[in-house]
Amino acid sequence: MTSTNNIIELRNISQWYKRENGQKTVVIEGLNLLIEDVPKRGQFICLLGPSGCGKSTVLRYVAGLQKPSEGEVLLYGKPRNPADHVGMVFQQYSSFPWLTVLDNVTLALEIKGVPRKERRDKAMAYIQACELEEHADKYAQYPILSGGQLQRVAIARSLVSNPNLLLMDEPFGALDVNTRLKMQDMLLAIWERLWHINDATTIVFVTHDIPEAVYLGTDIYIMQTDPGKIAHHIAIDLPFDKTRQVKRDPRFVQYVYTIEDKMMSLSKKGAADILRKG
């Protein structure tokens, strides 16, 4: 049953593309996903799965950037509406390089008609939260800013409007290991801060990194390919106020092993299907 307490509901989603000979190539079929609201906290949902299974496409459905060939996309119990407030951070650097960091972050508020001082104050709060205050007047472009700094600009820009739903498509995929670990901690700290601003903020985060998903996520959904659909759901029972010390917790290690096993079993099934069809 659809409920307004559901943040996201994808119902019987299928996606296909027609080839030149008129035949259909099915990439997603029978996908169902239900993410419920958790008051006073929200959820941190991680999507895992092999390349080509449709993880990024799922985000595009929720963001309103793509419509499925078949099925329903519901937000807060209603069909997806262009007015729904959803933030999105892409893997590629998406800042406007001809604008400063501050101007990038204030842009959405400016479009909404927020007064200059108010939008500057709000933007600076998130710029500081993302540890960018020393770079506020620099142009948001490489090599003036590093890759990690440019992603923090994108995160601050997405958060400044206080979205109840934030989508993140492999935002740390191109970063070096040290920067990636720091960004994970920063994102958890910002998410906790959002609990007090928005009452609840839900993040949907696509990654290929299993330990990253276990560290960040409250719930992990594993997708399979050919066709793409949800294969497994794993609820993560670890403290919410995480530090890197939790990675030494036996439960953390067991979650990583369990998810690795499930991912490998899907890969073996996919290989067997290919050989059988061949």
Q: Are 100 and 93 in contact (CB under 8 A)?
A: no
Predicted TM-score of the model (pTM): 0.88
Q: pLDDT tens, 193-234?
A: 777 666 678 999 999 999 999 999 999 999 999 899 999 999
182-192: per-residue pLDDT in tens?
889 988 988 88
Letter string b/e over residues 215-235, b meaning 16 or more CB atoms within 10 A of that residue's CB:
bbbbbbbbbbbbbbbbbbebe
Q: How far, in Å, CA of 184 to CA of 243, rounded?
A: 10
H or E segment to which residue 233 belongs: strand 229-235
pLDDT grade for 269, boundaries at 50, 70 and 90 = low
Tokens of 51: 């390349």
SS3 call for 135: helix
- Where in the sequence of the chain do the CATH 3.40.50.300 domains occur? 6-85+163-277
Asked if residue 278 has pLDDT above 50, the reply is no
What mean pLDDT is predicted for residues 230-242? Answer: 90
* Residue 94 confidence class, pLDDT cut points 50, 70, 90: confident
Q: What is the pLDDT of residue 175?
A: 84
Q: Cα torsion for 152, 55, 57, 176, to the nearest 10°?
A: 30
Q: What is the pLDDT of residue 69?
A: 94
Residue 97 has pLDDT above 60, yes or no: yes
Mean of the per-residue pLDDT values for the chain?
87
b/e 129-160 (16+ beta carbons within 10 angstroms → b): bbebeebbeebbbeeebeebbbbbbbbbbbbb
* Percentage of the chain lying above the pLDDT 70 cut: 92
**Between these two residues, 267 and 100, which has the higher pLDDT value?**
100
pLDDT in tens, 110-124: 888 999 999 999 999
**Would you state the structure tokens that stand for residue 92, as one six-digit string?**
């590629």
The residue with greater pLDDT, 184 or 1, is: 184
Triad 57, 29, 267: Cα angle to 5°: 80
Q: Are 91 and 167 in contact (CB under 8 A)?
A: no
Query: What's residue 139's pLDDT?
Result: 94
Instruction: Indicate the CATH number for domain 6-85+163-277.
Output: 3.40.50.300
Residue 15 has a pLDDT of: 94
What pLDDT score does 207 carry? 95
